Amino acid sequence: MTSGYEALLLVLTVGLPFLAVATLALGAWAKQRLPEAAIHRLATSTFGLTFATSLVLGVALWFDGGAGLVWSAPHWFEIGGYHFPLSLVADRLSVPFAVFSSGLLCITAAFSSGYLHREPGFLRYYLLLCLFGGAVLLAVLAGSLDFLLFGWEIVGLTSVLLIAFFYERKPPVSHGLRAFIVYRICDIGLLGAAVWLHHSTGSGTHAPVLLPWWGFEVPKRALDVLVVGGLLIWASLGKGAQVPFGGWLPRAMEGPTPSSAIFYGALSVHLGPYLLLRAAPLLDAQPVLGVWIALIGLATAVHGTLVGRVQNDIKCALAYASMTQVGLIFVEIGLGLRMLAIVHIVGHAALRCLQFLRAPSVLLDRAEEERRAGRPANRLLGRLEGRLPRSAQLWLYRGALERGFLDALLRDYLLEPVLALSRQLDQGQEALHSLLLRRRPPPAQASRASKTEAEVVR
């Protein structure tokens, strides 16, 4: 049973970032030029307080025996037998994610002030960062799949807006649009899973299971378990940047470096594994789901390793390194090593976030080192592919340069058709709008027609 102060801690952990968003948005709406120092202090203190509340939640969970702390509010609406629950859950899965998420967000918010100093979009960046932080905590602490979907979608929106942050140039906008399409295609899986879970169990809330955390209620029919589990796996591929949808991750480096660190190195890419960890009861009910997850993760790890070795940009190399590690986390989840996966996620998120924040300085340090040494820095030798035949090495090299040809396949058979359909729909809407405007009578004729109608009525 959750006490009053524990429920307050849960609400504050999720609500403080959204309160910061409302404060910054209100200042922008009122056209008040907020000083950079005030914006920085507001965001940093918000995530600092969130980090403190999540730590206290962890202590309360420890003294409660790890049974889980739950806060529920009245349903927003109820139609027939379906309702949208408002509930937050603090358990052994969500609390570690909330602690390290808020801690890394606080570090990134503090670092971003100097990096984006005098940037015209300074306020916009911090507003999106606070919105992203609130959405991550909402998705992590959500007590139902419906509520998790709400935070999941806000995370995707803020990711796209920060990829296209420097919208004055064409590449950021193009890469943001690519990420948006991939998110839309994969997020259909999460929406479909929520709807199917409601139809098969009558609820989308997390149910207590024989695990150290909470999970989705398992449908009775095996077909329902396979469908819901498959849809959740599909949804996790987009956020987790897994094969074949991982091409958006290196392109996301067009955004500011601090957003790359916290989004695509630390938090956003780990929401896919988090969703699969939350769906652990489904994986136990149908082991074939775990096999699919392990195979996808293994293919992504191999792909990320090969492609990452030919990258000449440090942020792209780190992006493929992140893709490789998330692939290994998928393998761990598929094999049932879930506690190991949680430890792997926390360690990888912290390391990758700091690596991304340090990346611009590394280039300067390396150039200075090579200048002092008078020669290029040594490269690692003795790699496995060096023992392959020359023809096989050339084939691997070309495949790595082409990023496994996955980007071309997605572009030709998925992204371009979606864009073409969107353009046709847009043109059709404009044509229909023009046709309606041409058929509308002029104002004078309209007034005469209205008088005639009035006379007929009289």
More confident: 60 or 418? 60
pLDDT at 234 over 90: yes
Q: Tell me the pLDDT tens digit for each residue of 420-452.
A: 888 888 888 888 888 887 766 665 554 554 455
Q: What is the pLDDT of residues 325-366, one digit of tens each?
A: 999 999 999 999 999 999 999 999 999 998 888 887 776 776
The residue ranking higher by pLDDT, 415 or 185, is 185
Question: How far, in Å, CA of 95 to CA of 449, rounded?
Answer: 67
pLDDT band, very low/low/confident/very high, at 110 (cuts 50, 70, 90): very high
Give 257's pLDDT tier (boundaries 50, 70, 90): confident
**Contact, 11 vs 88, CB < 8 A?**
yes
Ranking 52-56, 113-117, 291-295 by mean pLDDT, the lowest is 113-117
Strand locations in 353-394 (E): none
The pTM of the whole model exceeds 0.75:
yes
| Amino acid identity, position 299 | A
Quote the DSSP letter at residue 76.
Answer: S
Tell me the residue ranges of DSSP E strands in 29-93. Answer: 69-73, 78-79, 82-83, 86-90
Q: Where on the phi/psi map is residue 299: left (φ > 0), alpha (ψ -120 to 50), or beta?
A: alpha
- pLDDT at residue 204 above 70? no
Contact in structure between 96 and 11 (CB atoms under 8 Å)? no
Residue 274 confidence (pLDDT): 94
* Residue 453: pLDDT over 80: no
pLDDT per position as a tens digit, 32-64: 788 999 999 999 999 999 999 999 999 988 887
Residues contacting 227, CB < 8 A, separation 6+: 196
Q: Which residue has the higher pLDDT, 62 or 324?
A: 324
Q: What is the pLDDT of residue 381?
A: 39
In angstroms, the Cα distances linking 65 to 97, 212, 291 are 19, 10, 33
Q: What is the pLDDT of residues 304-316, one digit of tens each?
A: 998 888 887 888 8
Average pLDDT over residues 153-173: 93
Full 3-state SS string of 161-214:
HHHCCCCCCHHHHHHHHHHHHHHHHHHHHHHHHHHHHHHHHCCCEEEECCCCCE
Best-predicted range by mean pLDDT (84-88, 290-294, 378-382): 290-294
Between CA 142 and CA 215 the distance in angstroms is 11
Quote the tokens at residue 337: 């090593």
Question: Where residue 371 falls among pLDDT bands split at 50, 70, 90?
Answer: low
User: Does residue 289 or residue 367 have the better pLDDT?
Assistant: 289
Query: Does residue 94 register a pLDDT over 50?
Result: yes
Say whether pLDDT at 386 is over 80.
no
Count of C-beta atoms within a 10 Å radius of residue 171: 12
pLDDT band at 158 (very low <50, low <70, confident <90, very high): very high
Mean pLDDT of all residues belonging to the chain: 83
Give me 338's structure tokens. Answer: 């879930």
pLDDT at residue 385 in the model: 62
Q: At residue 269, what are phi and psi to the nearest 5 degrees? A: -70, -15
Does residue 203 have a pLDDT over 70? no
Total residue count of the chain as it appears in this document: 458
Q: Which residue has the higher pLDDT, 323 or 455?
A: 323
pLDDT band at 192 (very low <50, low <70, confident <90, very high): very high
**Lowest-confidence segment of 86-90, 97-101, 203-207 by average pLDDT:** 203-207
Which is more confidently placed, 240 or 207? 240
Q: What is the pLDDT of residue 375?
A: 64
Tens digit of each residue's pLDDT (9 = 90 or more) over 267-292: 999 999 999 999 888 898 899 999 99
Half-sphere exposure of 125 (CA within 13 A, CB side): 30
Q: Which residue ranges make up each domain of the chain?
A: 4-364, 388-429
CA-closest candidate to residue 14, choices 174, 197, 136: 136
